Structure 1
Amino acid sequence: MSNPFDDPDEGSSGMLLLRDDAEILEGFLCPICKADLKTPERLTAHVEQQHSEEQDLLKSLREMFSFAKKKILNLDETASELARNLDSSLGQGGGGVKVENPILAAGQVVGTDCDHLSYFKAVRNPRLERYATETNKLIIRLDKLLDGLPSDPDARKRHEQSKVPWIDGKLVKLCPSCAKGFGLTRRQHHCRVCGSVMCDGCSFHLSFDEARSIVQPVSPGTEVAPRPAPAPEEMSSKDRDSSGFRVCEHCLHLLMNRKEMQDSRSDRPPVTKLYEKLLQEKREITPDIPMYEKIIGSLYEGDAIYRLSDASALREKIGRAAERIDNISK
């Protein structure tokens, strides 16, 4: 049902609709004559001059433009005020009182520290002493085993039992390492160094050469050619027993740590040897470089003190040394 108060010229929807052929105008338009004045100033002047009788319209235009101008200027004033407040708080404002941040003004001191070195030494030194004492005991036993070691397997077994007391196998029902019971398929074996009981899978073999190198370490600078040893998988258990001592994992770990320590003191890495050789070459050639520069300068100045052959010979010597240094560095 249509609204009875609607204008009969308007649509039935109650809204003012434009005609399809109506032109849409944009810009700073005069509300009366629809002229586009391009700028707010020209629009205001046009209304004052051409439509001076429309005072209400002129007043509304002025209020509208002044309101928009205040909005724009208010944003600029807010930004300027924030900048002034920031400058004054930092003591940079003109004529303002300088305010310093107490946190930044105070001197920075080192924080609280706690020295744990004494506690570290108190824990570490007894452990090192215990490991060192145990390792020295194993090395003494290893030295006794190597002294007068017979080649016959039965005689060797009696020799090993006489030097190191073995634990009675009847008292051990399970392997200490894998906790598996002994039987026909899992026999008991004794560590030749500490005398403990273990199974074949948890035992290791220390060759006679490695044992001798641990007992009698090689002095620094002595070169010992390594002897080829057969692969462990190619040797049977009897062959391994005949070429070394059966030891437990704990004893092997201590002995290998001692051997690595001995090797680190006696052996030097190849890169260290090359570096020392490189330094030697540089020390030999360093005094010749200033002399070569002096000869070249004298020849350029026309002095007859040095000859061109002297510079050529010295240059050739420096060049050969540079080639050797380059080859070593590669």
Structure 2
Amino acid sequence: MADGAAIKEGFICPICIKDFRTPNNLLSHFQDQHSEEQDLLKSIKEIYGKAKKRILKLEDQDLQTFKEQNREVYFLEPSPPQDVGPFRSHTDYLKDLRREKLDHRTAETNRLIIRLDRLLRTFGPDRKQQEQELVEWLDGSSVTRCPSCAASFNIARRQHHCRLCGSIMCKNCSYFLPYDQAYRIVAPINNTSDKDYSGKETDTLRICDHCLKMLESRQRVQINQMLKPTIWQLYSLLEKNRKQVQSFVDLYNKMYDSLTSGETTFLLQDLQSLRSTIAEKAQIIDTLSKKIASEPVDPEMPKAVLVQNNIRKSTSNYIKDFLLTLPQPPSSEDIENIREKLAMSFREESDIRSSRQPKIQTVAVTTGWSPAPANIEPPSQDEDDNPLKEQMRIVRNYIDQARKAQRYEEVASLEENLRMLQDTYRRQRTALG
């Protein structure tokens, strides 16, 4: 081979000087193109066979060595189970360490909050002196570098003190806490407002990075405590409407029983109006339960899906069993028939009641509702100035207010008062001739 010629590698034909890439292609080429070179073909086959045997031999040796090295792992019988030895729980020790760390962080944060509250109350030309009296400042005579960034203090880089902890820092490592943000941090703790502080909203407090992180962490905790999940808000609203509609259902049943028994305590139109209100509340409750069931679930809380579905299922059963099964209001004809059947007994009871001294009842306020003062115009000169007439006008005004507020029990009590006043007034007119 000449000097400087390129060296070829691979399964190369010694006659054609071509690379056939695989030994089978090289043998096929020799048999087809160079059959006269039998000696050379024989030598190539011998070389290929020796190489193949050597490779297979090495693979067999490696496999045998691997089996011998791992024979104990693969072929030994499993050892019998051992008894559990003595053990020691470190849970209490871990809780103590964690409690000490949390207590230390909590105590430090509380101290910062107290100092911040006091600093917000400092004002006047000697404010800096007041701040040093509230928080002891670290002596900087022996401090040559900033503890945070290790920059040297000089004429251009002065020392500054944190107003909350008194530590030393440079200008680049200090932060200015605005007063309005400080108000929001302190006010929820001490139940104070901005008016309790004398500083301006444009004022600031210089603090270090450590104190800033402690205050921000406390503020994040406060925000997280105030925020409620959407599903919690929806469920609270659902329960509020459910309690309200339950009181309506109880009143509806009471009014229905009164009307179907022939009593005149309640009016049919009030019963129909109350049923419409219950239907609207049932629709609101059903919509809220659907929203709760469709709320996205946190992957870390797989049982939340079951809770949401149970809320939806229980709400549907409540609407179906208690709201949709309410009896239909009776017709006016049915009520008249019932009252006609009981007319004799009612007439006798009315005679007994008319013979007694009337007793004017007051409005039964059991749920915190009371009517507004009635603005009644004075009677004209031609109109009767009987005090009973004025009382009846006042009671009618109260009845209108109670009906608008859907206070049907108060309406019934006022209607009874009005009937008594009317009976008394008629007896007076009859006695006067």
The TM-score normalised by the length of structure 2 is 0.36
Between structures 1 and 2, the one with greater helix share: 2
Q: Radius of gyration: which is bigger?
A: 1
Q: If the length of structure 1 is used for normalisation, what is the TM-score?
A: 0.45
